[in-house]
Amino acid sequence: MTEVKIKTAFAAAHPNIALIKYWGKSTRDGHNEPAVSSLSITLDTLLTETRVRFDPQLDDDIFLLNGKQDEQKLSRISRNLDKLRQLAGVTTRCEVASSNNFPTAAGLASSASGFAALVAAGDRALQLDLSFAQKSMLARSMSGSAARSIGGGFIKIALQNSGPEDAVFGRAFAEQIAPAEHWPLEICVGIASESEKAIGSTEGMELSRTTSPYYDAWLAGNDQDIADAEQMVITRDFEKLAELSEFSCLKMHALALASRPGLLYWSGATVEAMHCLRDLRAAGVPVFFTIDAGPQIKAVCAPGYGDRVAEALQSVNGIRRVIRCGLGCGVRVTD
């Protein structure tokens, strides 16, 4: 093992939101492998920018989030850095400085964009030249959804396509189904709360796997949901994708709600917003909702309907603000 001279690199990544949700981890291994396949869209507007600096003067890794040292998240960051160091054959410690232009750990997939940016910046700084799939697997080992932020547009992690287990990388990785230009959907994110969520997804997933009576049914329906959703994306069938995405979202939350103790990620405003968006759809506006492990509501609408949907969402009691997004690109090195 050697020490490298100071090496710096910058990367930027966007969060993604799953239309076919991932909830539950495989029990087979230690690589944070998902128990189900998932399908997502990568957003633009919301952004994580990360700088890594491998520096032989450092005694320990350091993590700065939005300019402030964050000890709590450091151990996860260090585990990711250890994998990068192992691949490069170096021991040099690293300072990671990351900033988000949106609330962190509040169900807006900051861990997805965060780990995707970290892997891409680390790859560049240590000159590893990892492939798309390898970057996706390294990001996945820290946060399942981060595997999908390596790519842009429409992305899936299909467990059926995973290769044999690799000692460093594990198995599951993301692939692009279609680029953003294929179908420029618009997304309105309704912010119901800016505070960090009480129960993180890793803990929540484990609780659901071990206690929710719906877990086996959740696993059983996944292959069909993925195959159908991919087809709907390819054929740009909004109506069918709307129905299936809401089904996947509500199924995930039913699974979580039926855990013991039940995981209730919604606030009153989340529920009000679901009704509002369903009423809009009934009135002919092509829109559907999806919600992750937090109270924020994401309204996905057909191209050209963003203004109408944003206005409706903004009028929901308890929705503090609405962030408008389109579909974005994958992670990129920015120096």
Binding site for ligand PMV (CB under 6 A): 18, 21-23, 38, 111, 143-145, 201-202, 292-293
Sheet holding 332-333, edge to edge: 68-69, 62-65, 94-100, 48-54, 7-13, 332-333
Whole-number minimum distance, CB 22 to ligand PMV, in Å? 3
Closest CA to 96 of 133, 67, 72: 67
Whole-number minimum distance, CB 144 to ligand PMV, in Å? 4
Which one, 92 or 110, has the nearer CB to ligand PMV? 110
Which one, 92 or 141, has the nearer CB to ligand PMV? 141
Yes or no: say if 31 and 143 are a contact pair by the CB < 8 Å rule.
no
Which one, 139 or 313, has the nearer CB to ligand PMV? 139
Which one, 17 or 280, has the nearer CB to ligand PMV? 17
Whole-number minimum distance, CB 130 to ligand PMV, in Å? 20
Whole-number minimum distance, CB 138 to ligand PMV, in Å? 14
Whole-number minimum distance, CB 283 to ligand PMV, in Å? 29
Closest CA to 88 of 119, 61, 58: 119
Q: How many CB atoms lie within 10 A of CB 65?
A: 22
- Structure tokens belonging to residue 128: 């590893």
Which one, 123 or 292, has the nearer CB to ligand PMV? 292
From CA 229, how far away is CA 42, in angstroms rounded? 15
Which one, 18 or 84, has the nearer CB to ligand PMV? 18
Which one, 126 or 226, has the nearer CB to ligand PMV? 226
Yes or no: say if 280 and 251 are a contact pair by the CB < 8 Å rule.
no
From CA 84, how far away is CA 276, in angstroms rounded? 45
Whole-number minimum distance, CB 255 to ligand PMV, in Å? 11
Q: Give the helix ranges, DSSP H, for 89-235.
A: 110-125, 132-140, 201-211, 215-220, 222-234
Which one, 92 or 145, has the nearer CB to ligand PMV? 145
Whole-number minimum distance, CB 307 to ligand PMV, in Å? 27
Work out the burial of residue 207: count CB atoms within 10 Å of its CB; fewer than 13 is exposed, 13-18 middle, 19 or more buried: middle
Which one, 42 or 111, has the nearer CB to ligand PMV? 111
Give CA separation, 331 vs 86, 116, 147, 273, in Å: 22, 7, 11, 31
Whole-number minimum distance, CB 141 to ligand PMV, in Å? 11
**HSE value, Cβ hemisphere, 13 Å, CA-based, for 255:** 28
Whole-number minimum distance, CB 23 to ligand PMV, in Å? 6
Residue 17: phi and psi, rounded to 5, are -125, 135
Secondary structure class of 228 (helix, strand, coil): helix
